[in-house]
Amino acid sequence: MPPLAALERRSGHVHEAAGGPQGAPTGVIKFQAPEVVFGAGSLREAGFAARRLGARRPFVVTDAGLIEAGWVTQLVDHLSGAGLSATVWSGVTPNPKDHEVTQGYERYRESGCDVLIAIGGGSCIDAAKGIAILTGNGGSILDYAGVDRVTRAIPPLLMIPTTAGTGADVSQFCIITDTVNAVKVTIMGRALVPDISLTDPDLLTTMPDDLAAATGLDALTHGIEAFVSRAHNPLTDGHALSAVRLVFGNLAEMIDRPEVAAHRENMAQASLEAGLAFSNAILGATHAMSHQVGGLLDLPHGVVNGVLLPHVIRFNAAVAGDRFVPLAAMAGLHGGSDEVGDVLADEVRSVADRLGVPKGLSQLGVTEADIPTLAANAMVDACLSTNPRPVEVDDLAALFRAAL
């Protein structure tokens, strides 16, 4: 597992002794973010954005559902209008697999393309990042699991999210499924922060309700875990709190009232801000655990987060309750540091219930026999290093059992 110091270097949260009054330490913050294009109708800016990256023959990574929805055709038309000839590859499935990344890389290499564009959810975006890694660095995508393993330049990246939650379009993370070992591997490094993130809330209109719920819960988890992360800083805190407030105020409403554009726009902003927060502050035990369940059973990441998050909140709040007080306030809740963990955890579970998320992992197919392997694998996930409470394998096993 990468040491906290390595993750803090990646997040830019470095404490150094300073010569101020009484020698109080000061923080040196490095905040990594792509160029952001945001707003309804902004898909039409894609061609200009790609040209700013030097594109002549962009390679578009997407999936069959986005093609069917018509967004890929619109994107290709906008690229063509800017004088660009695109190649479209749609071999991505949910929770992108190692062999899919290899296939995409081979198609990219054959195509003679230059800039990578992903249009889709986190799976498409992570697959595009994986293709970029192999293009610049070679080998197998699993060679790059961990922190700062990508050392050579990669092609420019333009990311266009069609869901509201993953934050992959602005983050330094790439999550790929190791199909042999049935685990998700975390690849992390500043090289993976995209060059341009283009968020058009109109693209959320074709998102199915179950996907909207799952990705929205992912954004909520990003905001909460980033805020309490050991590598948080004042810049990530503001984005994390804003994202949590927006999710609590708009996720269920976006699904219940899809005709209201404001809810889509607010959730698109929540996804963006949560992504900026967790990319720079990293995450915690919920994600370390969720990655293992998703890798084992190929399940929707956000749904697993929705089951696990209340349990991890209670676990962490027992030693870091003060950090959860502002988070609870974003949901309109009140309570002191001693009880706020239970209050916030109950509210998260209430939202999950409203969205139809199962109450336990057993309903998703996890069994008692899976827990030792899940706990052991979670111990080596990079996200665990910034959890606010030290975690041992027995703690993870207990959390998995509580969530069954």
CATH number at residue 187: 3.40.50.1970
3-state secondary structure of 147: strand
**Residues in Cβ contact with 154 at an 8 Å cutoff, skipping those fewer than 6 apart:** 132, 133, 135, 136, 137, 191, 192
CA dist., res. 364 & res. 404, Å (int)? 9
Same domain, 187 and 321: no
Same domain, 128 and 235: no
Whether 190 is in a domain gets the answer yes
- Binned at pLDDT 50, 70 and 90, residue 26 comes out as low
Please write the tens of the pLDDT for every residue from 280-329.
999 999 999 999 999 999 999 999 999 999 999 999 999 999 999 999 99
CB 118 within 8 A of CB 200: no
Same domain, 200 and 212: no
Same domain, 250 and 388: yes
Boundary (domain end) residue, out of 185, 204, 223: 204
Output the six-digit token pair for 270: 């929540």
Whether 73 is in a domain gets the answer yes
Whether 11 is in a domain gets the answer no
Whether 262 is in a domain gets the answer yes
Same domain, 115 and 195: yes
Output the six-digit token pair for 151: 């050392």
Same domain, 327 and 391: yes
Same domain, 356 and 279: yes
Among 348, 118, 346, residue whose Cα is nearest residue 213: 348
Please write the tens of the pLDDT for every residue from 229-278.
999 999 999 999 999 999 999 999 999 999 999 999 999 999 999 999 99
Same domain, 180 and 231: no
- Binned at pLDDT 50, 70 and 90, residue 337 comes out as confident
Whether 313 is in a domain gets the answer yes
CB 287 within 8 A of CB 225: yes
Whether 23 is in a domain gets the answer no
Segments forming the whole domain that contains residue 387: 208-403
Same domain, 263 and 311: yes
Same domain, 189 and 268: no
CATH number at residue 225: 1.20.1090.10
Residue 24 pLDDT more than 70?
A: no
Note the residue count of the chain.
404
> Number of structural domains, the chain?
2
Neighbour-count burial of 287, counting CB atoms closer than 10 A to its CB (0-12 exposed, 13-18 middle, 19+ buried):
buried
Give the bridge partners for 87, in sequence order. 59
Please write the tens of the pLDDT for every residue from 7-17.
444 444 433 22
Cα-Cα-Cα-Cα torsion 298, 291, 302, 2, nearest 10 degrees, comes to: -160
Same domain, 196 and 216: no
Whether 170 is in a domain gets the answer yes
Boundary (domain end) residue, out of 148, 175, 204: 204
Boundary (domain end) residue, out of 144, 169, 204: 204
pTM, 2 dp: 0.93
Same domain, 150 and 222: no
Q: What is the DSSP string of 311-322?
A: HHHHHHHHHHHH
pLDDT (0 to 100) of residue 28: 85
Whether 14 is in a domain gets the answer no
